[in-house]
Chain A
Amino acid sequence: MGWLTPLETGGFQAPGVDSFDFPPPFPGVPWLDKYMIQAIVSVFLVAGFWLIMARKNKMVPTKGQFVGETAYFFVRNSIARDMLGHDFKRYLPLLIALFSFILVNNLYGVFPLTLLPTFSHVGWAYGLAALVWVIYNAAGIIRHGPGGYLKRTCLPSGVPWYMWWLIIPLEFISNIIVRPITLSLRLFANMFAGHLLVLVFVIGGEYLLFESEPIVNKVAGAVALVFSMAIFGLEIFVQCLQAFIFTVLTAQYISSAIAEEH
């Protein structure tokens, strides 16, 4: 990580992979690191939000109920119903839980007390994608049976027989193997790269402003610090977008697994 080191001072450490290593706050429990604490808190936040929103529903909604209903209808109408069609209700709880859990954990990246998106640690993204992988394969197997599901997944209808040797391995790799990998890597790498971008602007700007001598560097550092606010705005957009895309792709994978015709 030495390629950004200025020659005359040699003091600047560019943010890198090791910026994501946080020692566990309690020495006795090594698994309870910052990511784990954030995820546990987010579970209570999400569950509390939906429980409070679902508690006292009236015919004429109050302001709080309006917020909850808007969030619920967003996932229900523009994700679940558009993607899954008429039997979307079975998968709606999963989609809502996924969307709100990912959204809260992503927004940790701009929340001042945490400033670290949970999914910038790749293991969390792997876990979530493994859950989705199990669910969409199980949904397809329950609907079509193991053989029928495998046939529908690996062989799109209308392929002439002399192309089977090419299409079947390609579809198997793309639908069974690559899907969970891209699903997890997309979420992880967006959060990772976004957090790294913020770190470059903030740490680099701070270094230029306070620890370097030339006046040009100080101006550049101040501009970088101001501009980091715009980067935070971009991050909020990317975090919401990734939560949305993860949920949309989950719905799409389930819908293609349970579809009658591939």
Chain B
Amino acid sequence: MLTPMELTGSLGIVGYGLGAIGPGIGVGLIFASVIQGTARQPEARGAMMGTAWIGFAVTEALAIIGIALAFVFSGQ
């Protein structure tokens, strides 16, 4: 039977792509809020950035766990 397109590889990569959507939205929301806050009150920027980096790191951890798991499950 003739297949129109054959793809080989690991579904883990597709899973990681799907898994990166959530952290992507989360990181976007964090920095959108920082930009808004800076526009409303420019002198509070330093305090906001400190919190924002921690929030960024915590949100980004999801994507990071995703890429680690994509490599873990890529062999199966």
Residues of A within 8 A of B (CB): 2-3, 17, 78, 82, 182, 185-186, 188-190, 192-193, 241, 244-245, 248-249, 252
Known contacts A3-B8, A17-B71; is-contact A186 B60 (Cβ 8 Å): yes
Residues of B within 8 A of A (CB): 7-10, 50, 53-54, 56-58, 60-61, 64-65, 67-68, 71
- Chain A contact surface mostly: helix
**Considering only CB atoms, which chain B residue lies closest to A249 in the complex?**
B57
Q: What's the minimum C-beta distance from A183 to chain B, rounded to whole angstroms?
A: 9
Show 27 A/B contacts (Cβ-Cβ < 8 Å), sorted by A: A2-B8, A3-B8, A3-B9, A3-B10, A17-B71, A82-B50, A182-B61, A182-B64, A185-B61, A185-B64, A185-B65, A186-B60, A186-B64, A189-B64, A189-B67, A190-B64, A193-B67, A241-B53, A244-B53, A245-B53, A245-B54, A245-B56, A245-B57, A248-B50, A248-B57, A249-B57, A252-B54
Q: Told that A78-B50, A188-B68 touch, could you supply 20 new A-B pairs with CB distance under 8 A?
A: A2-B9, A3-B7, A82-B50, A185-B64, A185-B65, A186-B57, A186-B60, A186-B61, A186-B64, A189-B64, A189-B68, A192-B67, A241-B53, A244-B53, A245-B53, A245-B54, A245-B57, A248-B53, A248-B57, A249-B57
- Chain B contact surface mostly: helix
Q: What's the minimum C-beta distance from A98 to chain B, rounded to whole angstroms?
A: 15
Chain B residues within 8 Å of A190, by CB: 64
A242 vs B56: C-alpha distance in the bound complex, in angstroms?
11
A191 vs B53: C-alpha distance in the bound complex, in angstroms?
18
A3 vs B11: C-alpha distance in the bound complex, in angstroms?
11
**Considering only CB atoms, which chain B residue lies closest to A242 in the complex?**
B57
A244 vs B53: C-alpha distance in the bound complex, in angstroms?
9
A47 vs B68: C-alpha distance in the bound complex, in angstroms?
33
**Considering only CB atoms, which chain A residue lies closest to B10 in the complex?**
A3
Which one of B53, B58, B64 has the greatest number of beta carbons of chain A within 10 Å? B64
A78 vs B71: C-alpha distance in the bound complex, in angstroms?
35
**Considering only CB atoms, which chain A residue lies closest to B13 in the complex?**
A3
Quick check: B50 and A182 within 8 Å, CB to CB?
no
Which one of B8, B56, B65 has the greatest number of beta carbons of chain A within 10 Å? B65
Chain A residues within 8 Å of B57, by CB: 186, 245, 248-249
Q: What's the minimum C-beta distance from A202 to chain B, rounded to whole angstroms?
A: 20
A186 vs B57: C-alpha distance in the bound complex, in angstroms?
8
Chain B residues within 8 Å of A3, by CB: 7-10
Chain B residues within 8 Å of A252, by CB: 54
Quick check: B71 and A248 within 8 Å, CB to CB?
no
